[in-house]
Structure 1
């Protein structure tokens, strides 16, 4: 077969900039997209052909239309799974499908709605702890809030606070080391000799032991908790069996890792964008004040906070936490005019796709009205903050409910002020905000 690839960046150009690209690949992606078009290729002597795209049709082809022949790359199935287990995020093929079918019902909208009061209570407890003395680093506050929400939604209120604190510490340590290992694989021998690898593998074992203890206690308990752990424990495969403790640990670790950092990132970006766009912030505050006066339940409030939801969606467009996704084709494939050899790595830059002028008018501008009901049909084919196709993020409804409730709770209580209008990013496994400071001033009604 005659293979045909997109315009290529010579490998030497990639090589001479490799150290800078390792720190932040986005400016280089952007430069090559602008020079070569919405899809380009690099031929690496180590990995073969690598294709990068910001073309929605190509992204949809590999994630949705022809997803069966596109599997997750080794970055996720090998490197990540070593630390966070072989769960939904890191598995592929038949095992992934089996797990997805088993776990999906626990994340249906109706099930998540049952958790709303637990989520809202956890959020309010964290919001009440926010420091009002001058400017504070925003991300650590949102990180703790998101972790508490996942922990309490998973385990209700049964796990000890110190245990959860230790689990959070371990997960954050592991994530930092995963990034180091991915970005600097040439240091692998040093990681082994210095004891870093052994230290982090001990942390993996400790995290699994913590979760296993919680599972064993819950299995022995006769109490009912309307939380995700109860749902996962009772979920049955087609043959009537349930997940083993090891499988449960894998899935719970993935929920912690994928479920708290992405939301913390998104909330940090959203609050920063609101604080620097005062006209939009005023509209959100007015909607929250009007909704709050109606004496609704938390679930009813979510359904009323439409403009707030549009602001979060627009923030996810500009700063998608899952900023890039990659796949490898397990068979030769044809996409548009391209003929790709089996084993080609394709990366879809969601960050660039969401800022592609072919799909978005003034893409750099924060404009929540893009997501008004009358505009949604036009833009949704190009909007993928939670991915697309069968591997669409299982926690998307959970995340949206949590973010709406968090913005609602914060803006009910505080006026927001930012120290500058600059937004800096660090594209690690997720897109992380850098150096975001915020001042929280109690509203007069709260004084």
Structure 2
């Protein structure tokens, strides 16, 4: 067909020869082939099926935004992840997803989040009071705990006991670890099934669902208005006036646990490491935050004025996007950029590579939060996707930004951050996680 370009192809043999190393860390494979073949290449999966890998921001916008209705999520999310989380927003498709998104979206509008930011800040302050000083330690577990506590408090206020919270957090993290094993070691699928490994984990998942069922029932019987996310979700109505059933509500809560805590914890862990290597930005953010607090603002006013902390977070998400890839499968054949894609093509967009594309970003490897200043940030909207893009963009992006901005601002008001090594290590699992994220916090001589 005239005008149709051929997509460069990586041979099956080349892939199989590197399969083990790719399963352990796919990023070098991605980068090497993008550098060799250009912004889009394909891998022959056999039986006439292909996976298309791309760091083309125009193609990403085409798939995720302009023609999103022709694309669905891959079975990794709709089946593999769904068996642990159910059919919530992250794993749902089609009319079911549309119905749920329309119902839940208002709970995450900025005006509704105003009632939650006080709780978010209080929880952050409580957790920062437990931060270890003058000793090097891996910050990822600390921020994982902080982020999970924030999600739980925003959802349930004080309705969950410490024991319930611990079980919910443990099961959430176990599910993620199990899914990583399944995806990284597909050759052990028979073992996981035959020896009851998956069955055991699903039983643990059911235990967490039982806890959530109890919390929901306790809330329904209570006449106290908490104005938290659970109240908002229980009060939400479909177009026909009906409410969400408990099982669907639990599915959505499980999604919030995963989407609302792991990615935030990863980003905060990367942010403090970057700050450790850039003390000038520690000083900038802390000084601005001190000035804001001197004006006795509300928490929402504090957030809206914390421009430098926001820029710091945005640059962190550019350099180390927790959701470092996005996958889709086309429902009908499509054409974009001169490439023709047959029905059922698997797409994998490297957000990490798009965020560091030398034709899209000036000095892409350089840490420079100033690129997200108000007058400059608008130039990057077409190729900056830390929360995805289009109608399936992360529903909790405002919540996450508020939480991270408050956490960094409060942290830098109290502590200075010091590095223990020269490099920042990454661990690309389902999300982009930090590895050996060790820093040292020293308490400032402040009036906090």
Smaller-chain TM-score bracket: over 0.9
Deviation at 1:133, TM superposition (A): 4.2
Structure 1 residues 225-240: aligned runs within 5 Å: 225-240=226-241
Q: Secondary structure at the match of 2:113?
A: helix
Deviations 1:241-266 (A, max 9, x none): 01000000000000001100000000
What per-residue deviation string (whole Å, max 9, x for no partner) do you get for residues 73-123 of structure 1?
101000000011110000111110110000000000100111000101110
2:119 maps to 118
Output the CA distance in 2 between the equivalents of 1:208 and 1:6.
Answer: 45
Task: Note if 1:68 corresponds to 2:52.
Answer: no
Are 1:417 and 1:438, in contact at CA under 8 Å, matched by a contact in 2?
A: yes
- Provide the secondary structure at the position in 1 that maps to 2:347: strand
Q: Is the 8 A contact 1:53 1:348 kept in 2?
A: yes
**What secondary structure sits across from 2:114 in the alignment?**
helix
Question: Residue in 2 aligned with 1:320?
Answer: 321
Shift of 1:47: 8.0
Where in structure 2 are the equivalents of 1:396-407 lying within 5 Å? 396-407=397-408
Structure 1 segments, 4+ long, off by >3 Å, are: 1-5
CA contact (8 A) 2:282 2:412 kept: no
Distance 1:235 1:93 in 2: 20
Matched residue of 2:7: which SS?
Answer: coil
**SS of corresponding position for 2:173:** helix
Offset, 1:289: 2.0
Separation in 2, partners of 1:88, 1:277: 37
Aligned to 2:181: 180
- May I ask how many residue pairs the two structures share in their alignment? 447
Other structure's SS at 1:385 match = coil
Query: In structure 1, the residue corresponding to 2:116 is in which secondary structure?
Result: helix
Corresponding residue of 1:384: 385
Q: Secondary structure of 1:387's match?
A: coil
Shift of 1:365: 0.4
Contact 1:5 1:340 in 2 (8 A): no
Deviation, 1:446, is: 5.7
Change (3 A) 1:318 1:105: same
Instruction: Quote the offset at 1:272 in angstroms.
Output: 0.7
- What's the offset of the Cα at 1:376? 1.6
CA distance 1:10–1:274, change in 2 (3 Å)? same
CA contact (8 A) 1:5 1:41 kept: no
Task: Please state how far the C-alpha of 1:445 moved relative to its aligned partner.
Answer: 2.0
Q: Which residue of 1 aligns with 2:276?
A: 275
* Pair 1:357 & 2:372 matched: no
List per-residue Cα deviations over 1:108-141 (Å, max 9, x = no partner).
0100111000101110110001111411111011
Q: Secondary structure at the match of 1:348?
A: strand
Alignment of 1:414-433 (within 5 A): 414-433=415-434
SS across alignment from 2:446: helix
CA contact (8 A) 1:387 1:393 kept: yes
Cα distance in 2 for partners of 1:172, 1:47 equals 37
The 5 Å alignment of 1:55-204 reads 55-204=56-205
For residue 373 of structure 1, what is the aligned residue in structure 2? 374
CA RMSD of aligned residues (A): 1.3
- CA deviation map 1:406-441 (0-9, x unaligned): 011111111111101211111111100000111111
Q: CA deviation at 1:5?
A: 4.6
Q: Which runs of 5+ in 1 are unaligned?
A: none
Contact 1:263 1:403 in 2 (8 A): yes
**Structure 2: which 5+ residue stretches go unaligned?**
none
CA distance in 1, matches of 2:53, 2:28: 14
Whether the 8 Å CA contact 2:139–2:438 is kept in 1: the answer is yes
Shift of 1:294: 2.1
Q: Which secondary structure state, in structure 1, belongs to the residue aligned with residue 188 of structure 2?
A: helix
What's the secondary structure of 2:50's corresponding residue? Answer: strand
- Establish whether residue 15 from structure 1 lines up as the match of residue 16 from structure 2: yes
**Within 1, Cα distance between the matches of 2:47 and 2:64?**
25
Tell whether the 8 Å contact from 2:282 to 2:416 is kept in structure 1 after alignment: no
Classify the secondary structure of the residue corresponding to 1:114: coil
Quote the offset at 1:293 in angstroms.
2.2
Whole-Å separation in 2 of the counterparts to 1:403 and 1:25: 28
Residue deviations 1:264-293 (CA, integer Å, cap 9, x gap): 000011111011112222211221222222
Residue aligned with 1:159, SS = coil
Q: Secondary structure of 1:425's partner? A: strand
Give 3-state SS (helix, strand or coil) of 2:416's partner.
Answer: strand
- Does 2:27 correspond to 1:26? yes
Tell me how far apart the structure 2 counterparts of residues 228 and 49 of structure 1 sit (CA, whole Å): 41
Q: Is the 8 A contact 1:107 1:395 kept in 2?
A: yes
- TM-score (normalised: structure 1): 0.98
* Larger mean Cα displacement after TM superposition, 178-187 or 80-89: 178-187
Tell me the equivalent position of 2:245.
Answer: 244
Work out whether residues 424 and 437 of structure 2, in 8 Å CA contact, stay in contact via their aligned partners in 1: yes
Q: Matches of 2:313 and 2:282 in 1, distance apart?
A: 12
Give per-residue Cα distances to partners, 1:364-418, cap 9 Å, x unaligned: 0010011011112211211000000000110000000000110111111111111
Cα distance in 2, alignment partners of residues 284 and 256 from structure 1: 29
Q: Say whether the 8 Å CA contact 1:415–1:441 is kept in structure 2.
A: yes
